[in-house]
Amino acid sequence: MPISLEKIERDAPRLIDLAKKADISILKANLTNHQAKVALCLDISGSMSFLYSSGKIQTLAEKILALGCRFDDNGSIDIFLFGQNPHRVGEMTLGNFQDFIPNIEQQHRLEAGTYYGKVMKMIRKFYFPEGNGDSRDSPFAADEPIYVMFVTDGATSDEEETQNQLKWSSFEPIFWQFMGIGKPRKDVSGEGLSGFVGKALATDFSFLEKLDEMKGYTDNATFFNVEDPESISDDELYDILMAEYPTWVKFAYSKKLLQ
């Protein structure tokens, strides 16, 4: 069972309103008393600099922690980073959340590169070590699902590996919620210099859209985009995070991925 709201209010009062809002979205999704492990996977490529320095990533991480507390009795979420290389940096908890992102910024400088596939392999290996993050073509069952919130502001340099990782992970009880931050290139209009500059500054999320549409053993990935993580209300964010996940959970049970 998730930790109580009373414990959250006592140990981390800053998160109590977020936890209550997450509860509302969970209730609407018919996932009350649902157990899952929540992970947050964060892009640390150089273009993410302002999102970190402005505190926007810390704020987003707190929102994901509040959701994790409603799914997990440990009151924590696992944090992974990716840029040129993948990193696992431990757990964000009710006890250490307030300065968690600034602290990991000091330990992990932004990197010149973006590789989704490398960190997806690390995450799969961490939760399902017997598979080593390698290819899989038959169902693997576990007691609880893994919900991965995957945050990036750009395209990956290892598209083939990423697609393979997503395909192989469709045989495992793991759900990928991809969140793109930035203005999509397809939404930029205008001619001449302004149009050229606008498209140059925008982001091509077409590959993430392709991942959303990929079909494997299960449909275990979805994608949404925001120009700014703080431009979306907490209620709307949690509703989006609970939009496709409940359907996947039912399907995962029917496919014997959850027991």
**Tokens 């944090």 appear where?**
79
Higher pLDDT, 200 or 219: 219
Q: What are phi and psi of 46, to 5 degrees?
A: -55, -30
How many CB atoms lie under 10 A from the CB of residue 153? Answer: 18
Residue 194 confidence (pLDDT) above 70: no
- The CATH number that domain 5-254 falls under is 3.40.50.410
SS3 85: coil
Taking only the tens place, the pLDDT of each residue in 100-132 is 999 999 999 999 999 999 999 999 999 999 999
Mean pLDDT of the chain: 93
Work out the pLDDT band at 196, boundaries 50, 70, 90.
Answer: very low
DSSP labels for 163-214? HHHHHHHTTTTEEEEEEEES-BGGG----HHHHHHHHHHSB--HHHHHHHH-
pLDDT of residue 44: 98
Report whether pLDDT(197) > 70. no
Instruction: Single out the residue of 169, 52, 159, 61 nearest to residue 114, CA to CA.
Output: 159
The 10s digit of each residue's pLDDT in 70-99 is: 998 889 999 999 999 999 999 999 999 999
Q: Does the pLDDT value for residue 200 go beyond 90?
A: no
Which stretch of 120-134, 169-183, 201-215, 235-249 has the lowest confidence by average pLDDT? 201-215
In the chain, alpha helices (H): 5-11, 16-28, 49-53, 56-71, 100-107, 116-127, 159-169, 192-201, 206-213, 234-241, 245-254
Mean pLDDT on 200-216: 86
Q: In what order do the strands lie in the sheet with 146-152?
A: 86-93, 76-82, 37-43, 146-152, 174-181, 221-226
pLDDT tens digits along 147-175: 999 999 999 999 999 999 999 999 999 99
Phi and psi for 231 in degrees, rounded to 5? -85, -5
Rounded CA-CA distance 248/175 in Å is: 8
In this prediction, residue 219 carries a pLDDT of 97
pLDDT recorded at residue 186: 60
- pLDDT score, position 192: 53
Whole-prediction pTM value? 0.94
| Average pLDDT value for residue range 214-241 | 96
Q: What are the sequence ranges of the domains in the chain?
A: 5-254
What pLDDT score does 190 carry? 54
* Span 14-73, pLDDT tens digits: 999 999 999 999 999 999 989 999 999 999 999 999 999 999 999 999 999 999 999 988
Identify the pLDDT of residue 183. Answer: 87
Q: What percent of the chain has pLDDT over 70?
A: 93
d(CA 242, CA 254): 19
